Amino acid sequence: MKKKILILGGGYSKERSISLKSSKAIIKSINKLYKVKFCDPCVDFFKTVKSFKPDVIFNALHGRFGEDGYTQTILETLGIKYTHSGVIASMLAMDKEISKKIFIKNKILTPKYMKIKNDPNYINYKKIESYLNYPLVIKPINEGSSLGVYICKNKTSLSFNLKKMKSYRDILVEKFIPGREIQVAIMGNKKLGAIELKPKR
């Protein structure tokens, strides 16, 4: 009897459209091997889980509420096996400030940074400029897929881009490091492959 796999995709984050594409690709690749069903948590998650009774949930959710420990906590509570890192690992990895503190403690190189409150009444540009030189990078604390990431070459662009990020309360300001972006997946001592990300602009 084929195992039942419930694919979680879509969700509430700003990466919803990418998650739906991921789900479609996953379903296509495992559809012949398992009994597969798709579920968007925005519709009726608990009803679907109760009726389908999956052996495993394949978490194809991206960003907040999918990769930050939120969904993992629900699945742990329900006692359902799932793909993805566990609750604590997900929470730590999604929070860029906490991740940086872990990197620094373990002597892993990471760009110089500071956290600021994105409130026009409290942003101290002189403090930022005395600590970091332009160009610098700003990004949300807990967003993925480079969403809300801006390279600022001066105070004018910094102010302009912070206004575009008004929906985010906490902002990470980093030293800009030019270069190529290459990701390598490693499991234990095994290399699983590498990809280079090349933005269109």
- Report the pLDDT value the prediction gives residue 197, as an integer from 0 to 100: 87
- Distance (Å, whole) CA 88 – CA 71: 12
Q: How many CA atoms lie within 13 A of 99 on its CB side?
A: 17
Phi, psi of 53, deg, nearest 5: 50, 65
- Distance (Å, whole) CA 147 – CA 10: 16
Q: Within a 10 A sphere around the Cβ of 7, how many other Cβ atoms? A: 24
- Report the pLDDT value the prediction gives residue 55, as an integer from 0 to 100: 96
The whole model's pTM is what? 0.80
Q: What is the pLDDT of residues 127-156, one digit of tens each?
A: 999 999 999 999 999 887 678 899 999 999
